[in-house]
Amino acid sequence: MQRTDAETRINQLRDEIEFHNRKYYVDASPVISDKEYDDLLAELVRLEAEYPDLVTPDSPSQRVGGAPISGFTQVRHAAPMLSLDNTYNKEDLAEFDRRVAKLLQGEVYEYVVELKIDGVAASLTYEDGRLAVAATRGDGTTGDDITHNAKTIKSIPLGIKELPDALRGKRFDVRGEIFLPLKSFRRINEERLEEGAEPFANPRNAAAGSLKQLDPKNVSKRGLDMFTYALVADSAAFRTHYESIEALRGMGFKTNPNIRLCNNIESVMEYCNYWEDKRDSLGYEIDGMVVKVNSLAQQAALGSTGKAPRWAISYKFPAKQATTELVGILASVGRTGAITPVAMLAPVQLGGVTVSRASLYNADNLDALGINVGDRVLIERGGEVIPKVVKVVEKRSDGVFRLPDTCPVCGGAVSREEGEAATRCINVGCGAQLLKNIEHYASRTAMDIDGLGPKVVELLVSNKLVHDFADLYALKAEQLEPLERMGRKSAENLIAAIDASRDRPLERLYYALGIRHIGAHSAEILAARYNSIDMLLQAEVEELTGLDEVGPVVARSLHEFFRGEQNLRVIEKLRAAGVRMEQEPKLPEKPRIFSGRTFVFTGALTLPRSEAERLVKERGGKASSSVSRKTDYVVAGADAGSKLEKAVSLGVKVLTEDEFRDMLS
Ligand code: IVH
């Protein structure tokens, strides 16, 4: 494409993409499919790669294209970002209204009432209609520069197409709240629990934590959003706050639709009551309402105290907390085997619903709370689907509850890795993990069973046709045929695909078993070293740790997996079903005479160092570069120096190269 044509097309694509961003992220009414949107973006990225000098900072391609930053710089706000005084009841609200009336000396006034979004306040500075800087509130005067992260939020316009005349050529700030929708919050916490990381306490912390990330690529995955609620410009562009919100909406900003003009404090209260009841129906958290005097002239007349405006106030909802008795703790097993303690409670009313369960997250949290059955506890409902236990208010039991050391679903072995919060069931046949394990086994990079996707796995499991992936090999076409949307032909195809998977290369099987931390790459490394599953089964942790790219975490995970009786049973079923469990040795097998032994080579040897190390590893041993008490042998060549000295001082056996060669034969 000619340069001028490319430029025209690039501009056209940018407009189209931002139009669709607005439709999707601001108006929540997309007009094209995700695929069509992705295609437009891909075309833009392709053209910009061809003409890099045509890339502009406000191109939609730059939303996630930013490089990670090394730290946050400080931004001084053009006008201070004030906070709000709080009220907690109707009397305080009436008191606020009396103060306003008095200060306005009989003038007529009205209020705008808005939701108080529970997130992180941010200020977006636009210059010439383009987003120049985004910053957090900080101390109100200066905040962190979060431009790289704010750009990933698709409801924030990078450039404004329809700028009101009053703002043309001006620099102005748009303020609002960056928040995490509940759906994203729950997804992130689920992921964190599965990964063994601490869950975020609430959506606000999750939003704040996300904005502290240095790499915008991580932030774009979080699903942050922003409601804007103020336009700060020095020109007298608008008459009322309400008009400025409408202008923001017209410029493409996302503003909250739940906003009401009220001409007396009674109707303000009524609107506050309405949302106090309905707060759970929103897809995001609010912690109260904000009441603002509508006229900007009156706002100016009322002014502010150092910290908060006199023309606005927040009405905070009571925290959704209650105390009750902990009657039991249930260990629940998730889809990926993570075992989480769940509090069983004496039923209690909380924010209009009866609650009888609460999250306890993990074993560390049990310790931190010092909790056991019988205690009286404080529970709180935040963004989670089920409430969480905040603390023990009255200790009535002894000690702390311990999670069981076998899986409550299958009775299999559980494991908790160092530095991980999650305790997991590591049994491939565990009923709780069946769907995930079979899906993984059948996946393309594992045993590659065509036609065995999540829907079919679900059917097989719910019809009790399989209880682990080894059962797949016993299936008959006649059993599959009656299943929903199956039919004769697909049933036969599936059986043929299962049949074909018996003969997959060994590394596929190593991967397909679903051993934690064994990805496709580590499976290949294992297959290069162990020609049969029986050899792998017998490998000791030290030996596994000595393999290239296999660290202690992977080694321990393998070792634990193969110690699980139920895992061994499934492996035997696979063997009986004729699944390939060995391969032609790539190299003649060496006797494993160095199993569990560590060697250090030092000084000038006739053998190249790498070759000497290979000889050790081939025989099950480990080569290290430094001498310690754990070293078994130091092989010293001519001119050996400090390593030899250390070996002597630690009493480690020292060999000559010839003695080492003798050991090999
Ligand atoms: S107006 C000068 N409106 O609440 C007035 N604030 O406790 C500035 N907030 O820092 C704030 N929703 O982060 C305003 N609709 C809304 C709001 C809102 C949430 C937050 C904001 C502010 C805090 C004050």
603: CATH: 3.40.50.10190
Question: Which of 339, 372, 394 is the last residue before a domain boundary?
Answer: 394
Tell me, yes or no, whether 499 and 607 share the same domain: no
Average of per-residue pLDDT across 234-239: 78
Q: Is residue 408 part of a domain?
A: no
Indicate whether 338 and 478 sit together in one domain: no
Domain of residue 18 covers: 3-63
The answer to whether residue 387 sits within a structural domain is yes
Q: What is the pLDDT of residue 57?
A: 84
Query: Is the C-beta atom of 208 inside 6 A of ligand 1?
Result: no
Q: What's 588's DSSP letter?
A: P
- Residue 333 sits in a domain of what CATH number? 2.40.50.140
CATH number at residue 442: 1.10.150.20
Query: Of 63, 89, 114, which residue constitutes the final position of a domain?
Result: 63
Pick the atom of ligand 1 nearest to 121's CA: 13
Q: How far is the CA of 83 from the centre of ligand 1 (A)?
A: 7
At 419 the pLDDT is: 79
Which position among 116, 154, 388, 622 bears the catalytic label?
116
208 and 310 in one domain? yes
Task: List b or e across 557-583, with b for residues whose CB sees 16 or more CB atoms inside 10 angstroms.
Answer: bbbbbbebebbeebbebbeeeebbbee
Residue 400 covered by a domain:
no
pLDDT category, 103, cuts 50, 70, 90?
very high
**89 by DSSP, 3-state: which?**
coil
Same domain, 19 and 59: yes
DSSP tally for the chain: helices H, then strands E: 24, 22
Is 243's pLDDT higher than 80? yes
Let me know if residue 303 belongs to a domain: yes
Domain endpoint, select from 369, 394, 419: 394
The answer to whether the predicted template modeling score (pTM) of the entire model surpasses 0.85 is no
- Whether residue 379 lies inside any domain: the answer is yes
- Shared domain check, 17 and 52: yes
Q: How many residues does the chain have?
A: 665
Mean pLDDT of the chain: 91
Decide if 116 is catalytic.
yes
What is the CATH number for 59? Answer: 1.10.287.610
CA of 309 relative to ligand 1 center, distance in Å: 11
Whether residues 572 and 612 share a domain: the answer is: no
**Do 157 and 258 belong to one domain?**
yes
Ligand 1 centroid to Cα of residue 67, in Å, is 31
Tell me the per-residue pLDDT of 514-570, one tens digit each, with 9 for 90 and over: 998 898 889 999 998 899 999 999 988 888 888 877 888 899 999 999 999 999 999
DSSP letters for 275-334? HHHHGGGSSS-EEEEEEEESBHHHHHHH-B-SSSBSSEEEEEPPP-EEEEEEEEEEEEE-
Is 132 in the same domain as 232? yes
Q: Is residue 250 part of a domain?
A: yes
Average pLDDT (128-147) is 93
The answer, yes or no, to whether any atom of ligand 1 lies below 6 A from the CB of 303, is no
Residue 92 within any structural domain of the chain: yes
- Asked whether residue 211 falls in the same domain as residue 338, the answer is no
Looking at the fold, whether 162 and 246 belong to one and the same domain comes out as: yes
What is the domain count for the chain? 5
Statement to judge: residues 117 and 229 lie in one domain: yes
Q: Confidence band (pLDDT; 50, 70, 90) for 69? A: confident
Q: Are residues 288 and 437 in the same domain?
A: no
